[in-house]
A and B are shown apart, each in its own frame.
Chain A
Amino acid sequence: MTIDSKFQFSDLSDQELLYGAKTCPGCAATIAVRLALKVLGERTFVCVPACCLAATTNAYPQVSFAVNYVVTAFPATASTIAGMAAAAEMQGLEDVTILGIAGDGGTADIGLQALSGVCERNDNVIYLCYDNEAYMNTGIQRSSSTPWGAWTTTSPAGEGERGKTKYRKNLFDIIAAHRVPYCATASVAYPMDLMEKVAKAKAIKGARFIHVHAPCPTGWGYSSEKTIEYGKLAVESGLWYLAEYENGEMKLNLTPKTFKPAELYLKGQRRFRHMTEQDYKLIEENRDREWDLLKERVKA
């Protein structure tokens, strides 16, 4: 299960365009943004709504982004980048990339209608969603991207409570249903794959969407050095998938032959601590159902 790669780590730029952010130690969102900006380069205009990244990169007078950068209202990421793209076009700027970065709450819940509008109008922007599976900035509230059974402050676990009782929203399918030119899922634990997808998105014109899985040590409850380990385990146990949608066709970048037991991924995290063997089984059953659907779509 290797991924084809044309990049070498040593060829990548030494320039850091996101540096000194006040994010928690081991934050995966900064890995995703840092690597994406390495590929996109200096001529990138970034827009961030209220999210972890906006709160941690602007501690006045410190500004951690070294590119043009604007903070917008929570639901307005997609509409702001649409406006930025229109302005860039009016000014005849052709070598710039307009990038919107938002968390899963700002994408799947609050910012969804603006994002849907951008995808439908096919504005010339890239939208990157880092998915840490809850509203982490405000203190771990459940979002529609939180997986089934996870503890958050608004979906508690304990006596009579079993964490979140609903399954997560499939954002990739929602965006792919808009028939955008390019849409992908990625993970920070697979940096080559992530950077190739960003490079591919950069070369395409139109609305492009990348959904990055970003483990969060604070919200998920594991020690900070295991960020990459949990990112890998999520993919290897089939609870996250790496896929691409391009020219009306869906492609899986990595299909594990056998899934690792979900228990390996779930057991070490505080948010799944209340789970029993039966819960693991339910999660695996749901995973197998999802993968059957995925494989059917790729074949067709």
Chain B
Amino acid sequence: MKPRLIRDFHFPARPEELAFGVCTDAGVLTTANSGWRVFRPVLDASKCIRCLFCWVYCPDGVIGKEEKDLTIDYDYCKGCGVCAHECPKKAISMVKEGE
């Protein structure tokens, strides 16, 4: 279970709408990191042996292991390429965005 991006978030328009005091809620995600990416990791599930090295080494924890095949949350993947570099079976390839 990963925190999700709040897609219908509106930035406070007036000072009265700002959070009051010094505390805010934890785990509130209002902006995505997907725009940082030049290369996008693509998983070939037929080559995957579920060693989970990509899952553990992913700096942002965007790889999910709840389902049968591993999933990638493209909202928060920055395209660093650690998963593809560490995969012992080369099941993850880095594909240029827009192709």
Known: A19-B76, A224-B82. Is A64-B56 also a contact (CB below 8 A)?
Answer: no
The reply to whether the CB of A66 lies closer than 8 angstroms to some CB of chain B is yes
A229 to B86, CA, bound (A): 8
B64 to chain A, nearest CB (A): 7
CA distance A30 to B9 in the complex (A): 25
**Interface size grouping (class) on chain A:** 35 or more
- Number of residues on chain B facing chain A (CB within 8 A): 42
In the complex, residue of chain B having the shortest beta-carbon distance to the beta carbon of A29: B59
Chain B residues with Cβ below 8 Å from A10 are: 50, 52, 65
| Contact present for B59 and A227 (CB under 8 Å) | yes
Residue of A nearest to B86 (CB): A228
Q: Are the CB atoms of B80 and A227 closer together than 8 Å?
A: yes
User: Cβ of A31: which chain B residues have Cβ within 8 Å of it?
Assistant: 57-59
Cβ contacts under 8 Å, A22 to chain B: 33
B28-46, CB under 8 A of A: which get 1 and which 0? 1111110010000000000
Show the binding face of B for A, using Cβ within 8 Å.
Answer: 1-3, 5, 9, 11-12, 19, 24-33, 36, 50-53, 55-61, 64-66, 76, 78-82, 84-86
Q: Can you offer 16 A-B residue contacts whose CB atoms are under 8 A? A: A15-B1, A16-B1, A16-B2, A18-B61, A20-B5, A22-B33, A25-B81, A30-B59, A31-B57, A34-B59, A64-B27, A66-B27, A223-B81, A224-B82, A227-B59, A228-B85
